[in-house]
Amino acid sequence: MPKGPRARAAEATSASSAAKDFGKEVRAALSKRGIRLVGTTWLPDEKGSFANGERGYLLDDNGTGKVRDYRGVLSLAGY
How much is the pLDDT for 74? 97
Number of domains in the chain: 1
Averaged pLDDT for residues 53-70 = 95
Please give the backbone phi and psi of residue 37, each rounded to the nearest 5 degrees, phi first: -75, 125
Averaged pLDDT for residues 59-74 = 96
Classify 27 in phi/psi space as left (phi over 0), alpha (psi -120 to 50) or beta.
Answer: alpha
Q: pTM of the entire structure?
A: 0.77
How much is the pLDDT for 26? 95
Query: How crowded is the C-beta side of 3, counted as CA atoms within 13 Å?
Result: 8
> What is the amino acid identity at position 25?
E
pLDDT tens-digit profile of 32-55? Answer: 999 999 999 999 999 999 999 999
Handedness of CA 4, 59, 45, 54 (dihedral sign): negative
- The whole domain housing 51 covers 5-77
pLDDT surpassing 60 at residue 69? yes
